[in-house]
């Protein structure tokens, strides 16, 4: 894996431990309630202790999370990282210096564990000591590393402690410009999925705060929840962007959509706006305009940095456990300084965004969703298990996937050949965007459904079933078979499948197979797949009466064909004028062989576009005959 791939994987791994932090924030917030007045005086102590406990054990959570994330959930690596942290903590606690393991410590041990796991998980020793070989050697190696590193850290403790405190002073000396730069870089790195790398430094490492018991916490986030009156500068300014600016972009996209598409776009982007407002998950909105107007995303990043600078100058301090959404805002408001000012600032900021984006979309004719065919977010509504096989095909099949992970908003893949990844098909299936980072590293933004998609794709890969995947046989709009204006096809008397309304006169093969029949009038063609499915492609309705006029067959019976290969050309205007309808069914005539069907969304498709239909075959002895 290249450097970008390692960074991408590390960025995703850093997110794993943070999923427990909302729990800590809730406990700390609940501890502020008047429990004594309720007759439960000890409840405040219990809840406060529960919240502080998670922050106290953050280094261990990061060690475990990074090790698991960097090794695709290898259990031996996770246990090895925890063992390493126990050894490290034990040694430094036995020293006469007041040392505490930091999140940085956990990250280092997690990364080293992942390296050792990759290097030693298959190591072999002589048979009499092979018990220590393979995965069992990883915890042993990590334990030795942790012991040596702890001894070195004890020696360097005074200098390192002073260095971390000085680093916090240096960052603070940057003032508002430093906060602006952080906000700008954070948004830009969202494009590459590497924003967790920079946020991790500021939120978990920079700046120190000494507690009453003498221990020291580092990082803007832990310091904020520990009651540091100077913490929160690197989090507060994100609230106006995530609670107001991003939802304002969603409203601008809705209001600039075409009237015929506005109902669907409204439903999709209202959900995205609500998600950003409540939870601070922004990628579904940001990726809606990133690829079609990257210059607008740079403006967005600059504005995001500027509002952080503005809140810093006003002395506003606020924090969050997960992201800068309304839920975190309300839960943590009792710890904030001038936090209420973020609401009016956010409203003004949101209005600026709304009018700016409406103007830009209209002035530069930006093809945001709902204006032209392009990247569109789509409703998933429980059909992820049906789309997963289609997404798998659009990625190039299971043979093309070398590594697959998911974070909150995107699939993170390493593929053998990134040229096999079909951008059009993935956008057709609901992806907000596809990012290629080189070296086979690909990110596909599916929003908050990404983890569910990964799980269903894993199931599809593991299932030992016979599946046939279909590409689009032409360019146009995909429609349900029941909408074909012919009772024979609409009633599925010929077979089951889908249909297309073409806007270009070229018919291509949707599958691998053999041409078994070319009708004399050339308006239809039959293909048999290697699995024995008989596929009928019928151009238009009542077109046999044209007796071949307007059609030209490119292949003949007996030819082997592959997806995307040209089969027949036809005169679109002539058939529209002389035929009953241009609707072109693609049906499986021996559909009794099919166990289950999956269809992509019924909307516009490109010729040869992968993943429009998938069928699982019934188990039976024997198979297709291409002879």
Distances (CA, A) of 481 to 7, 98, 266, 583: 46, 73, 27, 9
433-438 and 441-445 beta bridge pairing: antiparallel
Spatial distance between the Cα atoms of 5 and 268, rounded to a whole number of angstroms: 31
Q: What angle do CA 325, 329, 330 make, to 5 degrees?
A: 125
* 625 burial via Cβ count (<10 Å: 0-12, 13-18, 19+): exposed
- Of 137, 1, 132, 143, the C-alpha closest to 72 is 1
Q: What angle do CA 104, 145, 159 make, to 5 degrees?
A: 50
What is the token pair recorded at 319?
Answer: 């924090």
φ, ψ dihedrals at 393, nearest 5° = -65, -40
Q: Judge contact between 102 and 218, C-beta under 8 A.
A: yes
Alpha helices in 133-258 (DSSP H): 137-173, 175-190, 195-204, 220-225, 233-236, 238-240, 246-255
407 is catalytic: yes
Q: How many residues does the chain have?
A: 627
Q: Judge contact between 54 and 98, C-beta under 8 A.
A: no
Other beta carbons within 10 Å of 286: 22
314 HSE (CA, 13 A, CB side): 19
Distances (CA, A) of 620 to 466, 571, 592: 10, 42, 12
Cα 58 to the center of its chain, rounded Å: 25
Distances (CA, A) of 182 to 196, 201, 237, 312, 522: 12, 10, 11, 12, 63
Active-site choice (206, 326, 407, 582): 407
Give strand pairing partners of 406: 411
Q: Judge contact between 572 and 504, C-beta under 8 A.
A: yes
Question: Any idea which residues carry the catalytic annotation?
Answer: 407
């Amino acid at each position: 894996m290249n450097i970008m791939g390692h960074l991408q994987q590390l960025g995703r791994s850093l997110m794993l431990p943070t999923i427990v932090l909302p729990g800590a924030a809730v406990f700390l917030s609940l501890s502020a309630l008047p429990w004594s007045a309720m007759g439960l005086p000890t409840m405040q102590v219990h809840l406060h202790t529960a919240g502080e406990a998670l922050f106290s054990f953050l280094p261990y959570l990061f060690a475990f999370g990074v090790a698991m994330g960097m090794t695709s959930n290898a259990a031996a690596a996770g246990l090895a990282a925890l063992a390493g942290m126990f050894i490290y903590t034990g040694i430094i606690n036995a020293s006469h210096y007041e040392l505490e393991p930091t999140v940085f410590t956990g990250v280092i041990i997690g990364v080293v564990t992942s390296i050792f796991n990759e290097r030693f998980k298959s190591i072999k020793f002589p048979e009499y000591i092979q018990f220590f070989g393979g995965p069992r050697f990883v915890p042993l190696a990590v334990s030795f590393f942790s012991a040596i590193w702890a001894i070195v850290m004890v020696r360097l403790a005074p200098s390192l402690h002073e260095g971390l405190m000085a680093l916090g002073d240096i960052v603070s000396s940057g003032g508002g410009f430093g906060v602006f730069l952080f906000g700008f870089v954070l948004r830009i790195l969202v494009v590459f999925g590497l924003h967790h790398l920079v946020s991790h430094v500021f939120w978990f490492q920079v700046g120190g705060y000494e507690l009453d018991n003498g221990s020291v916490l580092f990082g803007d986030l832990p310091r904020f929840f520990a009651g540091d009156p100077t913490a929160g500068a690197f989090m507060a300014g994100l609230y106006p962007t995530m609670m107001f600016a991003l939802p304002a972009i969603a409203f601008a996209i809705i209001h600039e959509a075409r009237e015929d598409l506005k109902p669907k776009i409204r439903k999709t982007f209202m959900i995205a706006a609500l998600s950003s407002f409540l939870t601070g998950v922004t990628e579904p909105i940001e990726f809606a305009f990133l690829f079609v107007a990257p210059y607008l995303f740079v403006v967005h990043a600059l504005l995001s940095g500027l509002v952080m600078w503005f809140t810093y100058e006003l002395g506003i301090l606020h924090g969050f456990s997960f992201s800068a959404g309304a839920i975190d805002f309300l839960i943590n408001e009792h710890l904030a300084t001038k936090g209420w000012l973020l609401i009016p600032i956010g409203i003004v900021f949101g209005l600026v965004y709304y009018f700016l984006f409406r103007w830009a979309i209209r002035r530069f004719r930006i093809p945001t969703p709902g204006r032209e065919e392009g990247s569109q977010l789509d409703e998933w509504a429980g059909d992820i298990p049906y789309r997963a096989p289609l997404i798998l095909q659009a990625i190039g099949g299971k043979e093309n996937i070398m590594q697959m992970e998911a974070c909150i908003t995107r699939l993170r893949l390493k593929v053998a050949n990134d040229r096999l990844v079909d951008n059009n098909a993935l956008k057709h299936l609901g992806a907000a965007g596809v990012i290629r980072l080189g070296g086979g590293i690909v990110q596909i933004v599916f929003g908050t459904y990404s983890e569910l998609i990964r799980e269903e794709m894993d199931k599809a890969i593991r299932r030992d079933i016979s599946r046939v995947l279909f590409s689009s046989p032409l360019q146009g709009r995909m429609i349900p078979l029941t909408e074909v204006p012919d009772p024979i096809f609409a009633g599925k008397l010929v077979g089951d499948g889908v249909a297309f309304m073409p806007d270009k006169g070229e018919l291509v093969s949707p599958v691998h197979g053999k041409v078994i029949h070319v009708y004399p009038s050339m308006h239809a063609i039959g293909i048999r797949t290697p699995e024995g499915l008989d596929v009928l492609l019928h151009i238009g309705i009542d077109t046999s009466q044209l007796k071949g006029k307007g059609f030209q067959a490119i292949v003949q019976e007996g030819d082997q064909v592959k997806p995307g290969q040209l089969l027949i050309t036809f005169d679109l205007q002539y058939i529209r004028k002389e035929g009953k309808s241009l609707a072109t069914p693609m049906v499986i005539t021996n559909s009794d062989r099919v166990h289950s069907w999956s269809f992509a969304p019924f909307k516009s498709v490109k010729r040869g576009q992968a993943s429009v239909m998938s069928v699982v075959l019934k188990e039976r002895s024997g198979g297709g005959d291409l002879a």
